[in-house]
Amino acid sequence: MNSRQTADAPARRGGATTTPREIARGIWWLPQCLALSLDGQETHLHVSSYLILGKDRTLLWNGGTHELWHGLDRLLDSLLGDRPLDYLVPSHAELAHCANLGSILDKYPTCQVLGDVRDYPFYFPGHADRLKSCSIGDELDLGGMRFVFVDAVLKDLPTTLWGYEASQQVLFVADGFAYSHRAPIEGEERPPHLKGECSLLASELGGAPGPEQVVWITKAALYWTHFLNLDAFRPRMESVLRDHPTRLVAPAHGPVIDNVDEILWPIWDALSLAYDPGRGVALAGVSHEDRTPT
């Protein structure tokens, strides 16, 4: 696997710097992060985008959050040079994934937004003519690289789509399979990573993550996992992997998973720990002991 880093294209955001990383031939991870202070220590939360450079066409998966736009702008300049950006594919209509849509379309006048685009005309009416609906199974020939729209097993919103680049076998999973580099700081439930760790691959972190590195992000990003047991979704996930042989899993939040066979299913098992049927009962204002006479 090609995992070169480039030192000549850093992006500044909130006093921290990230460096793009080529995780596979022609596929660049743009690991931008939101910086925050926990226990007096600068920590980061991934808001990643991915740039695919085909011979004929280019594609950006996820456009990032607005407060990181200037960093993303510089990263795109560095990696694209004089090439245009042909396609922007936001995984779903949430700020961390699509807030820069307008800025990107202004920067690249011929760029099209592809995917489940039903929500975007309301937010970006001036760009409605550049939105194109794509369905599961649709493919884009980028020139030596083939991007496929994939059913999202773990959806954040009803419009969430996953993506797959077939030549390098990279699966883009939006909010799925996110985990932090370390357990939360004592007394703080959020599990971010430290400055300087932004572009580390999963194999460089050593071993499968513990449940505490997975569950918080899952509960925050995929709230429905409180109420539905993921066991019911495992056959669908297995089907996705059979149909799309996967060498790299590329999430929006958390490290790129390059040791898929080693840690993907342990992460899935940890995701399942978010399930809390008692929470749904409590929110309904009843208890397990409440019974309706039959």
**pLDDT score for 229:** 86
Residue 286 has pLDDT above 60, yes or no: no
Residue 48 has pLDDT above 60, yes or no: yes
How does pLDDT run across 7-17, given as a tens digit for each residue?
Answer: 333 333 343 44
**Extents of the domains making up the chain:** 11-283
Sorting pLDDT into bands at 50, 70 and 90, what band is 43? low
Tokens for 113?
Answer: 């937004």
Residue 192 has pLDDT above 90, yes or no: no
Q: What percentage of the chain reaches a pLDDT higher than 90?
A: 50
Residue 2 has pLDDT above 50, yes or no: no
Residue 194 has pLDDT above 90, yes or no: no
Sorting pLDDT into bands at 50, 70 and 90, what band is 293? very low
**pLDDT score for 174:** 92
Taking residues 283-290, what's their average pLDDT? Answer: 52
- Residues linked to residue 106 through DSSP beta bridges, in sequence order: none
Helical ranges in the chain per DSSP H? 69-80, 95-98, 101-107, 120-123, 215-221, 234-243, 260-271, 277-283
Round the average pLDDT of the chain to a whole number and report it: 83
Is beta strand 131-133 parallel, antiparallel or unpaired with respect to 112-115?
Answer: parallel
Compare 279 and 206 and report the one with higher pLDDT: 206
Tokens for 191?
Answer: 């599990």
Sorting pLDDT into bands at 50, 70 and 90, what band is 250? very high
CA separation for the pair 254, 11 (Å, rounded):
18
CB 206 within 8 A of CB 12: no
Sorting pLDDT into bands at 50, 70 and 90, what band is 292? very low
**pLDDT score for 285:** 57
Sorting pLDDT into bands at 50, 70 and 90, what band is 114? very high
CA separation for the pair 88, 24 (Å, rounded):
19
Q: Quickly name the fold that domain 11-283 has.
A: Metallo-beta-lactamase; Chain A (3.60.15)
Compare 216 and 258 and report the one with higher pLDDT: 258
**pLDDT score for 188:** 53
Sorting pLDDT into bands at 50, 70 and 90, what band is 146? very high
Is residue 195 left, alpha or beta, with left meaning phi > 0 and alpha meaning psi from -120 to 50?
Answer: beta
- Report pTM: 0.85
